[in-house]
Structure formats: C-alpha cells, structure tokens
Amino acid sequence: MTALVRDPIRLPARPTGRPPAAGAASLALRPLLDPPRRPARVIAVFPAALYLEMRGGPEPRVLAVVTSDAGRLPNAVVVVASRREHPFRSVREGADAFVGDGRIEAEGLTVRVRRWWDPSPALGGLRPDALALGVRALEAELTAAGALTAAGPSGGGLAGHPDPDALAAACAAGDLAGAVEAAERIVGLGPGLTPTGDDILCGLLVALRLVGGAVRHGGAVRLADWLGAAVTADAGTRTTALAATLLHCAAAGHAGAEVAAVLRGVAGHEPPQAAVRRLLAVGHTSGTDLAHGVLAGCRAALGGRV
C-alpha cells in the first residue's frame, strides 16, 4: 500500500512582537472568545479603543478592546494599559485580526483574556417607593447637570426631535404599539459610530429590563422584550455594526459600566451624583443620550407602582 501524502494546510501566522496583554472581558463576549480562533476585521482605531467585527455569525459581532481609563461598553475587553501608553499604536483600521481561544490578535497586538466581568448589574429586589426616590434623585442630578429641564430632556444629539419624547411618553403610558413605532423611527438616527437614536434606545432597553425586573414590573419587562425584538430585527442594515451590537446587548440586559453605575444609584446601592457625572462625560453626546434613555426606562418601570 502506498501512503498518500498531502501538503500541510498552512494556517495564518499568529502575530509576533510584544507579549500578550492581559484583558478582562465582558461575559457578553463569551460566544466570540470561547470558540476556536476565527477571522475578524478592525473597523475603527482610537487612542483608547479599537473595534473588531467578526465575519459572519450571530450577535454580538463587534467587540471593543479598550484601555483601563476608557469608557467600558458592554461588549468590551479591558486591557491593563492606559491610553497614554498607546497600546493600539500598531493596529491599522481595515487590518485583519483573529478572535477566539480566549485571545484577540491584531497586527502585533495580542490580548489574552485572564478574567471576566458581568455586564448585567445585580440590582436585587426594589420596592416601588425606593424606586420613586431613586428616580427623583436621578432627575435632580440630570437637572443640576443641565441635561433635564422642566420642558423635558435637554441636549443630546436629537435635541428638538419629536420621536425621543414620543417614545418616552408611550413607554410611560404602557402604549406598546406607540413605543415600538417611535423606537423603530430612531434606529440609526444621528451621526457617529453609535448614532444618537441607538444610544437612547440602549439606555431605555437596559433600564426597562433591569429596573423593571428589580421592581417586578412585568409590563416593563414585556415592553423591553417587544422593543428589543423590534429594534434588533434589522439593525444590521439600519445602523452601524457597533451600534447594532450594542442594541443586541441592551436588549439582553447588558449595560456599560457607566450606565450600570447609574442604575445602581437609582436602586440606592451607590451615590448617584458621581455616577451621573461619569455617564454624561461619555463621548460627545452618547452619555447624555444614554442618560435620557435610562431616565425614560426608569420612569416607565415606576409608572403606576406607587
């Protein structure tokens, strides 16, 4: 018998250079990081973050690698380096990358996941009267920061646009059809990697699901289910890849660190002032837009509960 010899199949070479950096990954990214190594593409690079998109597959499709002093998105892997150390200086937008086996590899940068963090803050049980106090405290902090006036939310990327107000009003009234219609109109609305409409929706979805669950408001959780299904159904064709991923995360109750801190403040687990200040400082208008969505979700979860 003659042995059949085939040439070996060459796998893409692993990047060489600096030793692997240690990273802490969101549990929302386990579907991307646990399976075997797969190709990805670098879609954006900034001093404090880079974003990689997986080629095909279900959500989440985009993961963020961020410095320890950057905002922590619910789809983030946090590396032990600050932006002053320029950990992403070797990575170019559009470059090939690989994700899997607990690693992220891109042009000389290798991040090894050493631990995990939970993007769903535990709020515990929350009495309606305690939630009412928390919502009033959130309103007071947003008013002091100029993000809320007697006329309603102030600032943000869609200031003066009617649909965010219509969405908040429909949620507060328990108007499922009206909320879905208003939500679908603002998906992808606004400029940037995370358009304003999507930031508002992310804050709203997370608050409805987590605060509604904590106060045992089945209507708020059901509203989160319907809104989440509506805005994620075709998000991949209506907004950016990053924003679509964040909408999927929010629909599942996954929050960024700054949003999670505000929700813990509403639940009375930490002082709200510093948490609100940190959230409002996120991005150009993203923090304000997220805060407006969180407030609308908390008010809807409070509706009729006291």
**Residue 63 main-chain phi, psi, to 5 deg:** -120, 150
Residues 225, 258: one domain? Answer: yes
Task: Report the number of distinct structural domains present in the chain.
Answer: 2
Residues 88, 162: one domain? Answer: no
Residues 158, 182: one domain? Answer: yes
Residues 37, 159: one domain? Answer: no
- The two structure tokens encoding residue 131: 């939630």
Residues 95, 153: one domain? Answer: no
Residues 55, 201: one domain? Answer: no
CATH number of the domain residue 83 falls in: 2.40.50
Q: How far apart are CA 299 and CA 303, in angstroms?
A: 6
The pTM score is 0.91
- Angle subtended at Cα 64 by Cα 184 and Cα 20, rounded to the nearest 5 degrees: 165
Residue 39 lies in a domain: yes
Sign of CA dihedral 119, 182, 132, 140: positive
Q: Which domain holds residue 259?
A: 128-303
Domain-ending residue, one of 88, 117, 146: 117
Give 181's contacts (C-beta < 8 A, 6+ positions apart).
170
Residue 184 lies in a domain: yes
Residue 65 lies in a domain: yes
Residue 229 lies in a domain: yes
Residue 267 lies in a domain: yes
* 236 in Cβ contact with 242 (< 8 Å): no
- Provide block-wise average pLDDT over 10 residues at a time, the chain (306 residues): 42 58 97 96 96 88 96 96 95 97 95 97 94 97 97 92 96 96 96 94 98 95 97 94 97 97 96 96 95 98 75
Residues 55, 132: one domain? Answer: no
Domain-ending residue, one of 75, 95, 117: 117
Sign of CA dihedral 187, 285, 256, 58: positive
Residue 141 lies in a domain: yes
Question: According to the model, what pLDDT value does residue 2 have?
Answer: 41
Residues 103, 242: one domain? Answer: no
What 3 state SS string does 219-267 have? HHHHHHHHHHHHHHCCHHHHCCHHHHHHHHHHHCCCCCHHHHHHHHHHC
Residue 223 lies in a domain: yes
Residues 245, 149: one domain? Answer: yes
Question: According to the model, what pLDDT value does residue 4 have?
Answer: 40
Residues 133, 61: one domain? Answer: no
Residues 56, 158: one domain? Answer: no
DSSP label at residue 76:
E
Question: According to the model, what pLDDT value does residue 268 have?
Answer: 95
Domain-ending residue, one of 60, 95, 117: 117
Question: According to the model, what pLDDT value does residue 58 have?
Answer: 81
Residue 273 lies in a domain: yes
Q: How far apart are CA 107 and CA 239, in angstroms?
A: 27
- Angle subtended at Cα 239 by Cα 236 and Cα 240, rounded to the nearest 5 degrees: 85
Residues 175, 218: one domain? Answer: yes
